[in-house]
A and B are shown apart, each in its own frame.
Chain A
């Protein structure tokens, strides 16, 4: 007697095809979105610059006779564009460090803002301004615009290493310990940052909101140049760590069996995470939730393959932060909201939804 066997092949293949198609179109779509964000960010703001005015100013900078007004050129090149570029770098840096950190801790809830890595960077940056800047040491002149990113990088590195040490026993990372210790680190670092800022006479420093909630308002080309090396290191590393990070998601022993050195891999991920988080904090203060929202949304669409997830996170992180910045400029114009408020409003519900959907990810 013939028994009909249900055809499981058909369903499986369709899902696979759909994902393959999504994987092909994702990068081009994200690039287009980023370009739209850049265009919007260049033209929207307290002072109107029309699209044609912006294009004229760009043409003018390229040496064409476009008759661009001085006002348009100043607004575009000295205010809007540095701010937009800073948003791109900070957004991609935060999203990338979130994605890498989630691989390192093997958990989708790790976020540099949430677990104190950004706060450690902020504390180190503030401390370096007060200690080194106040003493007027020659190291400041030598490091110049790199001073803040370097100290923020060291601050995030210390917190990441400490957190990994506290949360990992014999190769197993306790997610509960990681989150709770991270929250404690964040609270402590923010309190100390507040203390230093409160007692400081430095006008640049006295803005605690900047360190606490973040802002792209301080963007200048000099600042961007100071942060750039840290972002570039991380961006260049993307193609080399995707495979290893995928293997690491199975566990350290499995990564070793698949031909990777887990120790070397982990060290690189810690350094790269600290570099991009530190640079982001040095440029725009502590901005939360970008590192958790962006990789999470992308995993829903693309799956967990880090070879695609990492570059896609960089693109979507940049786009998201630029749009968040536009909102922060528009909502209470002509004043500005701290950008961290916008990202928290978007990000906290996503975080809670991950918790509700996957309670098992925190195995206390």
Chain B
């Protein structure tokens, strides 16, 4: 279990997170949604240990997150950032192997690299130079890297976690669905998944738990994602009007 209690985070005077409490139990896909600048990525960074909240606590497996060393955390969770720049000529399999070593795997377990690449649909690309790939392909290679790092969702140390920050942003619809199916499978096998998403339909379809952030606060949270992603939310959180909703989601508007 990973749980944040009353965490706040400020940059200068700007309060990015304001007393946010949320939890992401293992076996579940927890989805964070919210408009730009709502604090989704910052909340995710607090959960991964990348930044330390100014106040409040984050507990991971019942222990304060900052009591884990970077090495310990790398064995228990993997993080897919929004974008990774890489200006050196690594091959695809070399990038994925970074996850293999972070998970303290023996070189004999190299087959995991191939399996992870197959899983994200990049099986034939292992010898290609990373820099020659398209943005979406690069994103899937990084997904294979983080999957390799926490290959088994549950170990003797407890469930492992996947943190994905907008993993679908540069993918076509087929690969968006593939990524979320992979995440769901990881959760069904006992691991924990925390995903930041922008696409509300995808969020509603795949979230076991949905958390809505707005201006650094949690404004809605619950297990029934389809009930949360409703016209009320679109109006109050995203500032849409009736005409916009009717045009974008005709079915939803008619149902009312």
B94 engages A305 (CB within 8 Å) = yes
Q: Which residues of A contact B30 (CB under 8 A)?
A: none
How far, in whole Å, are A239 and B149 apart by their CA atoms in the complex? 22
A19 engages B127 (CB within 8 Å) = yes
Q: Is A107 an interface residue (CB 8 A)?
A: yes
Q: Report the count of interface residues on B (CB-CB < 8 A).
A: 35
B102 engages A259 (CB within 8 Å) = yes
B70 engages A254 (CB within 8 Å) = no
Q: Which residues of A contact B50 (CB under 8 A)?
A: 253, 256-257
How far, in whole Å, are A300 and B129 apart by their CA atoms in the complex? 12
Evaluate whether A254 and B101 lie within 8 angstroms (CB atoms) in the complex, with A9-B124, A16-B93, A259-B74 already known. no
0 or 1 for each of A245-286: is its CB under 8 Å from B? (1 = yes): 011011101101111110000000000000000000000000
Within 8 A of A (CB), among B54-81: 69-71, 73-75, 78-79, 81
Interface size, A (range): 35 or more
Question: Across the two chains, which residue of chain B brings its CB closest to A8?
Answer: B124
A16 engages B74 (CB within 8 Å) = no
Q: Which residues of B contact A358 (CB under 8 A)?
A: 87
Best-surrounded residue of A12, A251, A303 (most CB of chain B within 10 A)? A12
Q: Which residues of A contact B108 (CB under 8 A)?
A: none
Question: Across the two chains, which residue of chain A brings its CB closest to B149?
Answer: A258
Question: Across the two chains, which residue of chain A brings its CB closest to B85?
Answer: A251
Question: Across the two chains, which residue of chain B brings its CB closest to A249?
Answer: B88
State the Cβ distance, B189 to closest chain A Cβ, in Å. 21
Best-surrounded residue of A14, A15, A300 (most CB of chain B within 10 A)? A15
B70 engages A15 (CB within 8 Å) = no
A13 engages B91 (CB within 8 Å) = no
Q: Which residues of B contact A16 (CB under 8 A)?
A: 91, 93, 126-127
How far, in whole Å, are A251 and B87 apart by their CA atoms in the complex? 11
Q: Which B residues fall within an 8 A CB radius of A?
A: 45, 48-50, 69-71, 73-75, 78-79, 81, 84-91, 93-95, 98-99, 101-102, 123-128, 149
User: Can you name 9 A-B residue pairings with CB atoms under 8 Å?
Assistant: A8-B124, A9-B124, A12-B126, A16-B91, A246-B94, A249-B88, A257-B48, A261-B69, A304-B94
